[in-house]
Amino acid sequence: MNFTIENIVLLFSILLLVGVISAKFSTRLGLPSLVLFIAAGMVLNQFVFFDNAWLAQLLATVALVIILFEGGLQTKWESVKPVYKPSLSLATIGVIVTTLTVGIAAKFVLDLTWAEGILVGAIVGSTDAAAVFSVLGNKNVKRKLATVLEAESASNDPMAIFLTISLIQVIQSPSFDPLTLVLSFFWQMGLGLFFGILFGIASVWIINKINLDSSGLYPVLSIALSIFAFSVVTIMNASGFLAVYVMAIVIGNADLTYRHSILGFNEGLAWMMQMVMFMILGLLVFPSELLDVAWQGIILAVFLMIVARPVGVFVSLLFSKMNVREKLFISWAGLKGAVPIILGTYPLVEGLEHGQLMFNVVFFVVLLSTVIQGASISKAAELFGVTRTGKKTESPHSLELISIGKTNSEMVEVRILEESAAANKRIHEVDLPPKTLITAVIRGDQLITPEGSTKLFPEDVLYVLVKKEQKMN
């Protein structure tokens, strides 16, 4: 293809269109959307030659910052708090154990040195929340397990990134002091956590106080702050990714001006970055090269799914109250996604002797494990008995009133449950807090204008205008 400005713009639009269509059909096909994005990239590389690993890594890093930031914004601290211990254990001990277990297999299967083998293990050591939940379909996993998986997937990336970068340093400098590695870990994670909280608090203050002329600038400001935080913390040789995620959690759980605009914008931008990122990574892969490492990839993928991941889960949850069935499901739900493929470009960029081999094998392993586990995760939930009865409590509806962005009121969404005190009552019979107004009732696909005589039924979705201080109580 002739890379004129017009052709590049056309290619970018095609990437986005293919990405949106892929996302729409991914759930119906029982596959994570990332698989279809990557497949689209692999098809496009038959027409577009692209082998710039450095540029791919740069774009992927920016994309990952935005994806982690969006994930943190959506993380509700009250949901994560009860399960932070098992999630943190999975995100640290689990990643380390999985890394070492896969590393042993990779050393012999790929005929690598010990450091190179463990490097492969570190690259595939983390899981991906988007991949897990994009294939659950209509299956309702127990809330506790879903939260554990989500928190683990969002928080284990910094550990995998730290291990990957550290092992590359060990390979490049065999005299690298192990004590330096340990001190580096505490430095990176400690400063990442500290500055994440600091930047989060500062960002909330800035967003609420800056008083911009246009509401559309607030989401842009939030993205700018996240990228700035990542850059500053990374320059200090600390974990910028951890800082961004922690910062986003602080922002997402704070009383925020134009919250709906910021959340909606970041969700859409994160989707766009996932599409572009995975397709560009797909452009780096040539099917013929994947076939060359097919048998090694199959062995490592199977080993990762049925040995390494379960070992990591059971060791890290040794003192957890979870039963065997729940641990087995968590093991099977450890789908791979963005980070392993991005980390697979690191050996390429650093010019390691077996960098191309590592990238191809990692790509093959991630793709294979995601396809197999992604297509069977709903069945696994039923097999291990970890589904919950009833319908999902999450609502696909959203309502945004820009005009109340700076006021002391907020529009909140409430779903009426079977056990709710308001279920099967008329609105005038419901004891509402002072100055609280039900503005809309959504029942199925119908929008009902609420009146005092309107009866509320289970599964109704209400939009309620409340004072912010009442919402926080």
Task: Summarize pLDDT for 384-396 with one digit per residue, the tens.
Answer: 998 876 555 454 4
Please spell the DSSP secondary structure of 174-189, one letter per residue.
TT--HHHHHHHHHHHH
446-448 vs 425-426, strand pairing mode: unpaired
Q: Report the C-alpha gap between 132 and 125 in whole angstroms.
A: 15
Quote the pLDDT of residue 92: 94
Quote the pLDDT of residue 401: 53
pLDDT band at 203 (very low <50, low <70, confident <90, very high): very high
Q: Please determine, for residue 472, whether its predicted confidence score (pLDDT) is greater than 50.
A: no
Q: Please determine, for residue 473, whether its predicted confidence score (pLDDT) is greater than 70.
A: no
* Residue in this structure with the two tokens 């590695």, named with its chain if needed: 181
pLDDT tens for residues 354-391?
999 999 999 888 888 888 887 788 788 889 998 876 55
Tell which residue, 108, 129, 125, 112, has the closest CA to residue 164: 125
What is the dihedral sign for C-alpha 414, 420, 425, 429?
negative
Quote the pLDDT of residue 396: 47
Q: Please determine, for residue 321, whether its predicted confidence score (pLDDT) is greater than 60.
A: yes
- The domain spans of the chain are 5-383, 402-472
CA 146 to chain centre: 13
* Contact partners, residue 61, CB within 8 Å, separation at least 6: 342
pLDDT tens for residues 103-153?
999 999 999 999 999 999 999 998 876 666 565 544 567 878 888 888 888
Which of 94-108, 154-168, 191-205 shows the lowest mean pLDDT across its residues?
154-168
Q: What is the mean pLDDT of the chain?
A: 84
Most confident of 139-148, 295-304, 456-465: 295-304
Quote the pLDDT of residue 95: 96
Question: What mean pLDDT do residues 169-196 have?
Answer: 86
Class of domain 402-472: alpha beta
Between residues 419 and 322, which one has the greater pLDDT? 322
Quote the pLDDT of residue 308: 97
Whether 402-472 and 5-383 are alike in CATH topology: the answer is: no
Q: Report the C-alpha gap between 373 and 397 in whole angstroms.
A: 29
Between residues 165 and 411, which one has the greater pLDDT? 165
pLDDT tens for residues 42-91?
877 777 777 788 888 888 889 889 988 988 898 888 878 888 899 999 99
Quote the pLDDT of residue 3: 61
Quote the pLDDT of residue 2: 59
pLDDT tens for residues 229-261?
999 999 998 989 889 989 999 999 998 888 888
Quote the pLDDT of residue 261: 86
pLDDT tens for residues 409-442?
677 788 888 878 888 999 989 888 888 889 899 9
Q: What dotted CATH number matches 5-383?
A: 1.20.1530.20
